[in-house]
Amino acid sequence: MIEKFHSKHFTLEKVRDGIYAAIAKEGGGAVGNAGFVDLGSQTLVFDTFNTQQAAEDLNRMAIQVTKRPVRWVVNSHWHGDHIRGNQVFKESTIVSSQTTFEKMKEFHPARIEKQKGDVQGLNNYIESLKQKISERYDEKVQQQIHFLSEMELSLPTLELVLPQQTFSNEMMFQGSKRSAQLFTLGGGHSYCDAVLYIPEDKVAFMGDLLFVGTPPTFFDESNPENWIQILRQIEEMDIATAIPGHGPVGTKGDIQQVIEYIKKR
């Protein structure tokens, strides 16, 4: 943890010199993990969390560490906990796969509109949870209250900001310190999942293809068979550190754990 950089939404962890993982805290406005990379002449952010509040902290820390504005932002897949902070990075170039772009554009406008239209309903639910723990304290309920309160705070000013640039299979970022390879092997957890690989440092930001210390999340769109095949291909890469979409920073060994979990599901 970098002590001087504090956020109630996530813990900032130095993975390598110039590579940082932002690990979501329970009950905060992050929900999923994110991170940033100092490429040398450019700064790249990987995923933008579930709320503007969390994304603002990430942007502030990235600027403080790298001493420059964020040039690139990557959305690993279309789910809200990885893209709803995009509006904080309007001055950056936001990149995703073409499929992720299309799914964001297809699903999020209606979802956001519905949530904005029911802020009072959300507030009523939060108050009911507060009443519940006033009668009997429950840590999980308290964390839920914190999370929903962050959602409530974000909704009045939330807007969907779509990627300005897309790629089909692969895209390279070149900096004076290191390069980064952004690629997708298709859909596993979501319709399309992207990975950012930094070969010089043997680090991979894996989004929700990887869960560490917590069971993977499945949706109707998830394709377990493809998910396993994608992970097996990634296992063949020279990776020492794997940053998951959820859970603490892991290693290549955690990839096999997810494969085994999916097989037994």
Which residue, among 162, 156, 220, has the nearest Cα to 191 in the 3D structure?
Answer: 220
pLDDT mean over 72-82: 98
Q: What is the pLDDT of residue 3?
A: 45
Which pLDDT does position 4 carry in this prediction?
A: 66
- Give the count of beta carbons closer than 10 Å to the beta carbon of residue 236: 8
Q: Where are the alpha helices (DSSP H) in 17-83?
A: 52-66
34: left (phi over 0), alpha (psi -120 to 50) or beta: beta
* Token pair belonging to 112: 């956001």
Strands 170-174 and 165-167: unpaired
d(CA 41, CA 32): 27
Residue 43 is inside which H or E element, if any? strand 43-46
* Spatial distance between the Cα atoms of 54 and 242, rounded to a whole number of angstroms: 22
What band does 152 get if pLDDT is binned at 50, 70 and 90? very high
Both tokens of 15, joined, read 């993975």
Q: Which residue ranges form the domains of the chain, and what is each CATH number?
A: 10-105+159-194 (3.60.15.10)
Q: How far apart are CA 99 and CA 83, in angstroms?
A: 14
Query: For 1-57, how does the pLDDT look when each residue is reduced to its tens digit (9 = 90+)?
Result: 444 679 999 999 999 999 999 999 999 999 999 999 999 999 999 999 999 999 999
Which residue, among 199, 226, 225, has the nearest Cα to 39 in the 3D structure?
A: 199
**Contact indicator for 238, 200 with CB cutoff of 8 Å:** no
Q: What is the pLDDT of residue 194?
A: 98
pLDDT digits (tens, 9 = 90+) for 205-234: 999 999 999 999 999 999 999 999 999 999
* % of the chain at pLDDT higher than 70: 98
How far is 257 from 265, CA to CA, in rounded Å? 12
